Chain A
């Protein structure tokens, strides 16, 4: 128990002192996960909306697959991206394995099904209300999808936040494709895993506290935004 208390004390000491090593790791984590969320969101939201408003052969199968991929283990994504990006792999020519770029790709792939599946569900629910009006106006699938995404923007913020939470908290994928190289690809989760195994509990705990704090702050922000928007639009 005393180690636990002491570790916590030292952890807050590191945070309070803006320990440069800790800051570097936090900054890289944010950069990687925010980039992954940005890339994945831009692609997954339109895909999810399109799955909700269009009818084509094989659509139902695709919906089931995307929903099933919600349970995708991070290490499996990591392994797949690793194989694709390794020297002998089909994308090996890019030479980005063991760089932050590879970690962005892995996290973007990991959270794509999450954003697409939840966005599809949200848009499909709203579509029941909008479909006749959109058809009546002559709006095609593209105009309808964009209009619905815009109308649901405040619900979609929650989905994107959940995706960011999954990205920044996962360890398996970034560990495999990033390699946890000190000062290059070491992020909060991989550092926590490493420092714990080395016995440096204060740094591990400090990172854990920062990780929680970031996720909490983002959720508070999203909650306030949503509250305000709902009051505005009734």
Chain B
């Protein structure tokens, strides 16, 4: 379904323009890191891409548009994982049922998915008693299991300690290696360097620049990105 093209995307809420004039093409392959200050519109941009928010103007074009009722070929992992009050395994089989997977395949696929993120021993525990890091690994397992072409991640490690963050990063690498396009918002610049191929720098509702990761951190093209990296806030 890639590439994804955004044409003239604008998004307003409560009389405020959160996104304006966004033109963007996301191709399969490179891992895209979305960086930018708080309130720049990163999360809204990702939700527009994923179809959770309808843009106020412009068009979101997938090369193969999604049809209602068909399983989605894209997935998203949120900052705070939303898990159902049922077992770890039950959370995965629910997602498979929604995706229309045949009944007799669900448990096997779910167990494989748990094994890949190291949660197999927890299969029959209630999902909501897992630690924060384990819950996020479960959310990743759920997304990965659905074999999406694109995986959107909105600050998946923002609430996690360094150990859990490393585990999440390694899973994201594996998902990328299995052929899924990674699009990720992060405030952790080290993480962006470790996981990213290119940086999409969002500033005040616009895409200020798009640069390969190593160049962005060495020599950003815009003054805003330069200031962001130096920790300055010239827009205040």
Chain A: residues with CB nearer than 8 A to chain B? 129-130, 132-133, 135-139, 143, 147, 150-151, 232-234
Contact = CB atoms under 8 A, between A and B. Distances in A.
Contacts of B95: 137
A130 B146 CA distance: 19
B17 to A, nearest CB: 22
Interface stretch (B8-16, B56-64, B70-78, B159-167): B70-78
5 contacts: A132-B78, A133-B82, A137-B98, A137-B99, A234-B128
B113 to A, nearest CB: 14
Given A135-B52, A137-B72, A151-B85, A233 B126 contact: yes
A139 B126 contact: no
A233 B78 contact: no
B51 A135 contact: yes
A150 B85 CA distance: 8
Contacts of B146: 137
Given A137-B95, A233-B128, A132 B84 contact: no
B204 interface: no
Contact of A133 (B47, B51, B78, B129): B78
B85 A143 contact: no
A151 B126 CA distance: 12
A201 to B, nearest CB: 49
Interface string B29-58: 000000000000000000100111000000
Nearest to B83: A133
Given A129-B82, A132-B78, A143 B126 contact: no
Contacts of B51: 135
Interface of B: 47, 50-52, 71-72, 75-76, 78, 82, 84-86, 94-95, 97-99, 126, 128-129, 146
A143 B84 CA distance: 13
A135 B129 CA distance: 24
Contact of B98 (A138, A151, A233): A138
Contacts of B85: 150-151, 233
Nearest to A229: B85
Nearest to A146: B94
Contacts of B82: 129-130, 132-133
Given A133-B78, A147-B94, 14 more contacts: A132-B76, A135-B51, A136-B52, A136-B72, A136-B75, A136-B76, A137-B98, A137-B99, A138-B71, A143-B97, A150-B84, A150-B86, A233-B85, A233-B129
A143 B94 CA distance: 9
A147 B94 CA distance: 9
Query: Which 8 A/B pairs are nearest by Cβ-Cβ distance?
Result: A133-B82, A138-B72, A234-B129, A151-B85, A136-B76, A139-B98, A233-B126, A234-B128
B99 A138 contact: yes
Contacts of B52: 132, 135-136
A139 B47 CA distance: 16
Contacts of A147: 84, 94
B195 to A, nearest CB: 21
A129 B75 CA distance: 17
Q: Which of A137, A147, A150, A151 has the most CB of B within 10 A?
A: A137
A156 to B, nearest CB: 12
Nearest to B127: A233
Q: Which of A133, A150, A151 has the most CB of B within 10 A?
A: A133
A143 B129 contact: no
A27 to B, nearest CB: 36
Nearest to A231: B129
A143 B82 CA distance: 16
Contacts of A143: 97-98
Contacts of B99: 137-138
A233 B126 CA distance: 6
Contacts of B129: 233-234
Contact of A151 (B72, B75, B78, B84): B84
A192 B72 CA distance: 60
Nearest to B94: A147
A147 B72 CA distance: 19
